[in-house]
């Protein structure tokens, strides 16, 4: 990763203007890295694993977008430095569990996350990342699947013929995200937060707004909710992060929909999905609440402790035991543990790794739950409102 490095990205969500699609999902963006800022938090965390790479946070801008038909449109975006791997969260099934069942679910979650790391798309990129993390110094790279949220410097002129062609070939189910019979099912709205929400400073009862990103049409092609409508939300639970890895908690819902032109509708809307950067450590419950999850919080330190104790066992072998036990400092730890042929040194390196794992998962200060400005969210609006809006 270096200044001026080309960056190619795929538009994750469609862009609408005046309730018409202008940039479809999947359009390709071309840009470059314009600056590199020292990432001190990542550097300090990496040094615990004997990784002395001077990590940076890249800032990127995009200069053009290529539509699926090959049309290239120039644009200019504001610099964005919020890039991070992202996933789309959806609500989990609603089920009550005993303490034992919760422990079993925790183990299953760790197994599932391990399975995803091995078999989900992008394995090659993750293997490179894993290999790099074992080295004391390595090249920096932008991880595959990194997502940026960018704002345009100025309006983008999309040719009328191109806009018409995009809308003509768009599948009906995509242009009209509501079901064929909107009177019988809840409305699904896609929106962007107008401000940052964080468990660090949010107060219960505090209000905020989100802007509807995609228009919602009825089965007769009538406009139900226009793009640009405002959703008024309310914080229902806020708890800042605390010591001993107690992460922050945040929950909110939506109570009002403001249609351009002055119309206001009282609604009952709940979070039904969202894009989460670095979201592998987050989960959404059946009621739309988002909280941190910690797969391997117990299992990982336990496994590392058992491995660290292997060099001290009676059947210890110099090379094998050292290789198994000295896994606390990446490649440096393994090389030192094997070449020194000392069971105490190998075990010491291994116990250091187990201690770092315990610190990261149990002792250090928790992280606040933060939804940045322009974070994309999905809101499910009650069936009753769907009928009211469709009958206006």
User: What pLDDT, on a 0 to 100 scale, did the predictor assign at position 312?
Assistant: 72
Residue 177: band (very low, low, confident or very high) from pLDDT cuts 50, 70, 90: very low
Confidence (pLDDT) at 179: 37
- Does this model's pTM top 0.85? no
Structural domains of the chain, ranges and CATH numbers in brackets: 1-83+149-175 (2.40.128), 299-363 (no CATH)
**pLDDT of amino acid 181:** 37
Select from 79, 22, 7, 371 the least CA-distant residue to 197. 371
Pairing of strands 263-277, 15-17: unpaired
In the prediction, which pLDDT does 105 show?
64
CA angle in degrees (0–180, nearest 5) for 125-50-307: 85
- 11 vs 288: CA distance, rounded Å: 25
Helix, strand, coil proportions of the chain in percent (round to 5)?
Answer: 30, 30, 40
Higher pLDDT, 96 or 125: 125
Give the C-alpha separation, 216 to 271, whole Å.
17
In this structure, what token pair is assigned to residue 373? 């400005």
Contact 99, 106 (CB under 8 A): no
**pLDDT value of position 234:** 94
In this structure, of 12-21, 109-118, 186-195, 255-264, the range with the lowest mean pLDDT score is 109-118
87: β partners: 276
Confidence of residue 175 (pLDDT cuts 50, 70, 90): very low
Give pLDDT, residue 343.
Answer: 77
Quick: pLDDT tens for 24-68.
999 999 999 999 999 999 999 999 888 899 999 999 999 999 998
DSSP codes joined into one string, 45-80: HHHTTT-----EEEEEEEEEEE-TTS-EEE--B--B
What's the pLDDT at 333?
73
What pLDDT is attached to residue 104?
Answer: 67
Beta bridge partners of 237: 251
Each residue's pLDDT tens digit, 344-386: 887 888 888 888 888 888 888 888 888 889 999 999 987 555 4
Give me the chain's average pLDDT, please.
80
* pLDDT tens readout for residues 207-235: 999 999 999 888 787 888 899 999 999 99
End-to-end Cα, the chain, rounded Å? 54
Q: Is 283 helix (H, G, I), strand (E, B) or coil?
A: strand
Is the pLDDT at 165 greater than 60? The verdict is no
Q: Does 182 score more than 50 pLDDT? A: no
Answer with the residue of higher pLDDT: 309 or 250: 250
CA distance 156 to 75: 6
Residues 6+ apart with CB under 8 A from 331: 134, 135, 136
Residue 279 DSSP code: G
Rounded mean pLDDT, 246-262: 88
What is the pLDDT confidence band of residue 178, given thresholds at 50, 70 and 90? very low
- Give the pLDDT score at 198: 92
Q: Which spans in the chain are helix H?
A: 40-47, 99-119, 123-133, 160-169, 172-175, 299-309, 318-325, 330-340, 343-358, 383-390
Identify the three-state secondary structure at position 36. strand
Strand partners, 36: 58
Phi-psi region of 70 (alpha: psi -120 to 50; beta: other; left: phi over 0): left
Predicted confidence at residue 388, as pLDDT, reads: 54
């Amino acid at each position: 990763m270096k200044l001026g490095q080309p960056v190619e990205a795929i538009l994750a969500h469609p862009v609408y203007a005046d309730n018409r699609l202008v940039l479809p999902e999947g359009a390709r963006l071309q840009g470059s890295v314009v600056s590199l800022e020292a990432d001190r938090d990542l550097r300090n965390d990496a040094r615990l694993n004997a990784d002395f790479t001077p990590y940076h946070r890249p800032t990127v801008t995009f200069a053009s977008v290529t539509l699926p038909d090959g049309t290239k449109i120039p644009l200019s975006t504001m610099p964005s430095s919020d890039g991070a791997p992202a996933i789309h969260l959806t609500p989990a099934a609603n089920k009550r569990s005993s303490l034992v069942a919760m422990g079993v679910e925790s183990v299953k979650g760790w197994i599932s996350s391990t399975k995803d790391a091995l078999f989900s798309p992008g394995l090659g990129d993750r293997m490179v990342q894993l290999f790099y993390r074992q080295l004391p110094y390595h090249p920096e790279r932008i991880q595959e699947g990194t997502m940026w949220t960018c704002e345009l410097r100025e309006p983008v002129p999309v040719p009328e013929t191109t806009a018409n062609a995009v809308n003509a070939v768009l599948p009906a189910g995509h242009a009209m995200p509501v079901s064929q019979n909107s009177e019988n099912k809840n409305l699904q709205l896609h929106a962007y937060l107008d401000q940052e929400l964080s468990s660090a400073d949010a107060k219960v009862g505090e209000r905020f707004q989100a802007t509807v990103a995609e228009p919602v049409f009825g089965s007769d092609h009538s406009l139900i909710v226009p793009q640009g409508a405002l959703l008024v939300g309310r914080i229902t639970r806020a708890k800042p992060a605390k010591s001993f890895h107690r992460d922050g908690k945040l929950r909110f819902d939506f109570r009002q929909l403001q249609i351009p032109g002055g119309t206001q509708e009282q609604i009952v809307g709940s979070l039904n999905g969202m894009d989460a950067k670095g979201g592998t450590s987050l989960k959404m419950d059946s009621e739309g609440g988002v909280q941190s999850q910690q797969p391997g919080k117990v299992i990982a330190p336990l496994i590392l402790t058992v491995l660290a104790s292997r060099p001290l066992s009676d059947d210890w072998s110099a090379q094998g035991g050292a290789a198994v036990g000295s896994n606390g400092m990446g490649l440096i730890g393994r090389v030192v543990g094997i070449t020194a042929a000392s069971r105490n040194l190998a075990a010491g390196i291994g116990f250091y790794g187990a201690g770092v794992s315990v610190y990261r998962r149990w002792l250090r200060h928790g992280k606040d739950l933060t939804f940045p400005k322009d974070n994309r969210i999905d809101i499910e609006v009650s069936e009753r409102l769907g009928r009211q809006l469709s009958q206006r």
